[in-house]
A and B are shown apart, each in its own frame.
Chain A
Amino acid sequence: MGSDKKHSTLPTLKALYILPQGLTGYISAGVGSLIIQVVLASLLGGLFVLKVYWRRVKAFVTRRPYEPPEKVKGEDKVAAEGEAAVTEFEGENPVDDEDRVDKDE
């Protein structure tokens, strides 16, 4: 079928039906949009971490102060498992502690 062939370039996503339950918000996010975000997650997350470390290397080489990206506040170990809890604890990202030091400076 033509339409099936058209869709075959997308990976089979049955195994990636890993969206959280109880989505918030009043607009329709679109199932396909949520799925493509999950598909892109690892890549974008990895690129983001690389970017953060690259900024730090660049700051070290150029001897300019490191400007950390905005930090997501409110993730803790429980939340990391998918619970919708918002706390004051600032997560376990190894970058975060360094961010805090830089901000204090």
Chain B
Amino acid sequence: MNEGSAADPSSFRDPSGYLFHRGDQLYRQVNRRYKEDYDVLMDSGLYGELVAGGLLVPHEEVELDPLDPATVYKTIKPELVPFVSYPYEWCFSQLKDAALATLAIQKKALSHGMSLKDSSAYNIQFKDCRPLLIDTLSFERFVPGQPWIAYRQFCQHFLAPLALMSYRDPRVSQLLRANLDGIPLDLASGLMPTRSKFRFSLLSHIHLQARSLEKYEKKSAQIETVGRFSENAFRGLIESLQGAVERLRLRGKKTEWADYYEETNYDKAAFDRKRELVRELIARADPLTVWDLGANMGLFSRIANEKAGFTLSLDSDHSAVERNYLECREKGDKGMLPLLVDLTNPSPGIGWQNRERMSLSARGPADVGLALALIHHLAISGNLPFGMISEYFSQICDTLIIEFVPKDDSQVQWLLSSREDIFDDYTPEEFEKQFSRHFDIAEGTAIESTKRTLYLMEKRAT
């Protein structure tokens, strides 16, 4: 093994190749056994068409001492996406766009004599709010007569969670966090309402498939040979899945945060002043990456993104993330990524050895963390002591722009209205004391016409 090289812990299932790191760069080894498929991908025009359409991550072939000379065919250097996100962090429309991108890729692959051999949602990432496939080795030469090998995976990773989010509740997407290979179809079928069976695509792709999987679970030995799955059947299957996904809609449901900007407790002048202050502090920090923690619909994320190259816009409310994403997509915002993350229970490391999918903090730190109108939710609703909040923030960002919301602020009073006030330490003095353990406080500026203060802090050198 080469010095400073390490195989990526998320890349071990497919024997066609694997990702590895050397220094700060990520490479992908293409194994000899994948040679023919890789050559067809590159020579058939499929690679060029997908890259030109923004559906596949571009790469360049490089000359490099291989990690494993015995198996290497080529080494490629893929263009990096700004942030790796996971399906359980996506809102409904993100998962839907990822599903439709997968099917669009499959249709283009078929027209070039290839097919997707897997359809994992983890192979899709977002760049500038557009989904693209990052696994260059997902293609194989199309085998006429063979059904789609990745059909069940597509239904488990995309169709079933989307249908459940549409028919039941968007929060059901969190089942993806517990089920690494997508929501099992028998579980999805059981959770879906009876009326979903009156839609033929859901009846066939979820309910009947679940029944069939159950019935033939232990009967593989009985399967005999020959016959074919016609070209039209294959294309019909993809069209049917596409239609099923396209018809799924998120039912309108107002949540407490989706109207937050209309329901703030300060006037327009104060809000404008806060925006200018944030803009000034971001300019001073001059970040490449910003994580907006508790971003709501991303208004301040967009202000940060005017300066930053990439802004992660995190919120725990599905409706807020959905609206944020739709706005990003509509406006073509460059460098923005809204994600569904609850900071009181951030994404953990999951999968094999808890290393296959990274925790949120393992994907940081950001140059700047933006925590506006958030501290009272963590400290009062979440019962989190200031010291613990400060410690976690110091793990995920180097510079912190944080708004302190005092106890006599009407928003805090609203939080306290339904519970006993056990928060004697919720004071500006205690806030500064606890955050000073992990950060140097560069400045604190009162936001005019409010009781709030905006702080700029730098992480202390350890």
**Chain B 64-122 interface residues, beta-carbon cutoff 8 Å to A:** 107-108, 110-113, 117-118
Which residue of B149, B212, B228 is within 8 Å of A35 (Cβ)?
Answer: B212
**Interchain CA distance A8-B303 in the complex, whole Å:** 60
CB-CB contacts below 8 Å: B197-232 with A: 204, 208-209, 211-217, 219-220, 222-232
Chain B residues bordering chain A, tally (CB within 8 A): 58
Say if the beta carbon of A41 comes within 8 Å of chain B. Answer: yes
Q: Which residues of B contact A43 (CB under 8 A)?
A: 236
Residues of B within 8 A of A40 (CB): 204, 233, 237, 240
Which A residues have a C-beta under 8 Å from some C-beta of B? Answer: 7, 9-10, 13, 17-21, 23-27, 29-49, 51, 69-75, 79-86, 91, 93
Report the Cα distance A82→B376, complex, angstroms: 65
CA of A84 to CA of B147, assembled, Å: 12
Q: Which of B224-260 touch A at CB < 8 Å?
A: 224-237, 239-240
Asked if B146 is at the interface of the complex by the 8 Å CB criterion, the answer is yes
- Which residues of A sit under 8 angstroms from B153, Cβ to Cβ? 27
Q: Tell whether, in the assembled complex, residue A10 and residue B212 are in contact, meaning their CB atoms are under 8 Å apart.
A: yes
A10 to B210, CA, bound (A): 11
State which of B135-143, B314-322, B379-387, B412-420 sits at the interface with chain A: B135-143
One of B15, B140, B209 near A33 (C-beta < 8 A): B209
Q: How far is the CB of A93 from chain B (nearest CB, A)?
A: 7
**B247 CB, min distance to chain A CBs, angstroms:** 15
Q: Is B190 interfacial (CB 8 A cutoff)? A: no
The answer to whether A44 and B212 have CB atoms under 8 Å apart is: no
Q: A37-B151, A74-B141 are in contact. List 5 more A-B contacts (CB 8 A).
A: A23-B149, A26-B14, A29-B149, A35-B216, A82-B227
On whether A20 and B146 interact (CB within 8 A), knowing A38-B229, A93-B232, the answer reads yes
Residue of B nearest to A76 (CB): B144
Point out the residue from B108, B118, B143 that lies within 8 Å of A70, measured CB to CB.
Answer: B108
Q: Which of A9, A21, A25, A45 contacts B140 (CB 8 A)?
A: A25
Closest CB of chain A to B156's CB: distance in Å?
A: 9
Q: Indicate if the CB atoms of B213 and A72 lie closer than 8 Å.
A: no
Given A70-B107, A70-B108; A86-B150 close (CB under 8 Å)? no
Give the top 7 A-B pairs by smallest Cβ distance, nearest first: A18-B227, A44-B236, A48-B236, A32-B213, A32-B212, A74-B113, A79-B144
CA of A24 to CA of B15, assembled, Å: 12
| Neighbouring A residues of B331 by C-beta, 8 Å | none
